[in-house]
Amino acid sequence: MHSRICTIGFTGKTAEEFFYLLQEASVLRVVDIRENRIGQLAGFAKFPDIAFFLDRIGGMSYAHEPLLAPSVEIRKAYRETHDWTAYETSFHDLMRERGVPEAIRAEDFEGTVALLCSEPGPEKCHRRLVADLLAEFWRLQGHSVEIEHLQSNKMPRKAVRKRRTRDDRTHSE
């Protein structure tokens, strides 16, 4: 098996940036690893809208895997302490309790798959921990696994174009 696990967060990205990053990476399937996928702050990434947009905009499939989400207690403790080392330890303990990575089918990650969460970057996000955990486990089984974190370091061509101002329209007409 060959897998390319991409990770992406929607916070701080426009819908255009978000879908552009997924399309540029040739993602086939997005696995939502948020516990709460219907929150009002999710905007275009709120379920069921995200599944519709992924299909219509990029021909990508959508799946939700709450088994890979941190617990409410872990998130709450991190918000209170901002202790990332404690978060990582608690998250890895939770994954072991849930039987992850063994409980996740490698076949579901064949090709290019993106793990979706809300954090803008992967540095302090559980999606990075999940990607590392899955990749390490599957590599030990002889699979080829790459990890790529999709971030807004290059803008879509459309977004880079200079916006025409009212004066520009007046002078060109």
User: pLDDT tens digits for 7-26?
Assistant: 999 999 999 999 999 999 99
User: Would you say the C-alpha torsion 6, 2, 110, 139 has a positive or negative sign?
Assistant: negative
Within 10 A of 13 (CB to CB), how many other CB atoms are there?
20
For residues 173 and 25, give the distance between their C-alpha atoms in angstroms, rounded to a whole number. Answer: 39
Separation of alpha carbons 21 and 116, rounded Å: 12
Confidence at 42, pLDDT banded by 50, 70, 90 = low
Residue 12 tokens, joined: 């701080």
The whole-number average pLDDT for the span 92-109 is 97
pLDDT at 154: 53
pLDDT at 166 over 50: no
Mean pLDDT value of segment 91-120: 97
Mean pLDDT of 30-35: 96
Cα–Cα distance between 136 and 143 in angstroms, integer?
Answer: 10
**In residues, how long is the chain?**
173
pLDDT at 90: 98
pLDDT tens, 50-90? 999 999 999 999 999 999 999 999 999 999 999 999 999 99
**pLDDT: is 56 or 162 the higher one?**
56
| Residue 40, pLDDT above cutoff 90 | no
For residue range 115-158, list pLDDT tens digits in order: 999 999 999 999 999 999 999 999 999 999 999 999 987 554 55
Contact present, 47 and 14 (Cβ < 8 Å)? no
- What is the residue-averaged pLDDT of the chain? 89
Query: For residue 120, what are the contacts with CB-CB under 8 A and spacing of at least 6?
Result: 9, 11, 12, 13, 151
